[in-house]
Amino acid sequence: MKKCVFAGTFDPPTTGHKKTVDDCLKIFDEVVVAVMVNRSKTPLFTEKERAALLKKLYADEPRVKVTVFDGAAVDLLARENTPFYVRGVRNTVDFEYENADLYASRKLYPEMTAVYLPAEQDSIHVSSTLVKNCIAFGKDFSQYVPAEIYVDLCDILEKKNV
């Protein structure tokens, strides 16, 4: 059985994230979607909220496992007993960042194999940052998040008075 890890902050999950996971399901038998705790970011949504959104998004897909992880991605790969680390890339900037990270990570976990999945051309601009900017300025963000979790996102934002 082939398993991969797709990790990120998912603050919040976007249509781009969903596309990446959907592509993973075409390649792998199991996809571990890991909500990472990133101490250099101040998330809008808690880890618990982000994980709940992803679990709802993939509630009918038993091959997707959602987890929260506070640590290095290489430690998550070791825990999940897989070398396959999936990264979505929108442009050359993402590619350069991911490649630099790969080479550093391989020093810690030589078995690591990166799998880069390109964004669709019509969604290379989609990011969690874009969604958060739309929220901050009161703009519609429905086209950038999966329809299955849009109402849930709005409910969370209402409870936070955002």
Task: List the one residue out of 16, 31, 41 whose CA is nearest residue 76.
Answer: 31
The three state secondary structure string of 18-55 is HHHHHHHHHHCCEEEEEEECCCCCCCCCCHHHHHHHHH
pLDDT per residue over 110-155, tens digit each? 999 999 999 999 999 999 999 999 999 999 999 999 999 999 999 9
Question: What is the per-residue pLDDT across 74-85, written as a single tens digit (0 to 9) for each?
Answer: 999 999 999 999
Phi-psi category of 7—alpha, beta or left, where left has phi over 0 and alpha has psi -120 to 50?
A: beta
Contacts of residue 57, defined as CB under 8 A and 6 or more positions apart, other chains included, come to 13, 18, 146, 148, 149
User: In this structure, are strands 113-118 and 84-89 parallel, antiparallel, or unpaired?
Assistant: parallel
Q: List, in order, residues 6 or more apart from 89 with CB less than 8 Å away.
A: 95, 98, 116, 117, 118, 119
Task: Please tell me the distance from the alpha carbon of residue 65 to that of residue 62, in angstroms, as a whole number.
Answer: 7
Q: Which two tokens stand for residue 37?
A: 């705790």
Strand partners, 89: 118
- Please state the pTM of the whole predicted model: 0.95
